[in-house]
Amino acid sequence: MRLTALILAALAIAAPAAAQDAPTDVSPVTVMPAGDPPKLAGSYPAEGAEVVAGLLALKLTFDQPMDPKGWRIAQATPDMAPHDGAQPAAAPLDCLGVPRLLKDEKSFVVLCRTLPGRRYVVALNAPISQQGGADPVSPDGTPTAFANLGGRSAQPAILAFGTRPRGDDPVRTLKAAMSNAGLSEIDSPVVDTPQMR
């Protein structure tokens, strides 16, 4: 009887340990502190610059490493970028595809087309209610924005620049557009995707 009680007691103690699940392997995760929101630190063209019309490699550089999936570029509305009438009204900037994050992890580049003698004003991370046109969306359908690796959205910014009037030869090649923006061959705004061929 004592032996049976001893065996039952040993089984009762061992049973909960055996019933527990085996540990699950977890992949490493990097958690970034929130910190200050990213700010636009530089751009090509620079704020207020006048560039040759044609192909344009629009380069946006932030002050901290950024998430490659988030971006929001929109046409600035008149209330976001008022002008005094001395300059022409802002023209829509025609860009191709999605901005690409460069190897420095702080700069995005996107290929755009500009026309001579125009003024362009773009809003970066403008509140959705103020944007003109459709909002960019992520694959799950939620709006996205320029954000750092910790998920903190960049401060909204306005970038205004112009193009020279007719007379200068327009920028016609990707290589020339990249050279104007100070980009190397590995910084191309156009990425070849063989799986899409």
How does pLDDT run across 2-13, given as a tens digit for each residue? 655 555 555 556
Which DSSP letter does residue 123 get? E
The predicted structure's pLDDT at residue 146: 94
pLDDT in tens, 58-101: 999 999 999 998 899 998 887 776 555 556 678 899 999 889 99
Which DSSP letter does residue 5 get? H
- In contact, 94 and 139? CB cutoff 8 Å: no
Instruction: Find the mean pLDDT for residues 139-149.
Output: 73
The predicted structure's pLDDT at residue 151: 87
Q: Is the dihedral of CA 49, 55, 61, 67 positive or negative?
A: positive
Higher-confidence residue: 146 or 25? 146
Give me the helices (H) in the chain, please: 2-19, 174-180
The predicted structure's pLDDT at residue 189: 87
pLDDT in tens, 13-70: 655 554 556 666 666 666 666 679 999 999 999 999 999 999 999 999 999 999 998 8
Indicate the pTM of the whole model: 0.74
Question: 141 falls in which pLDDT band (50, 70, 90)?
Answer: very low
- Cis, bond preceding 165 (omega within 30 deg of 0): no
The pLDDT of residue 194 is above 60: no
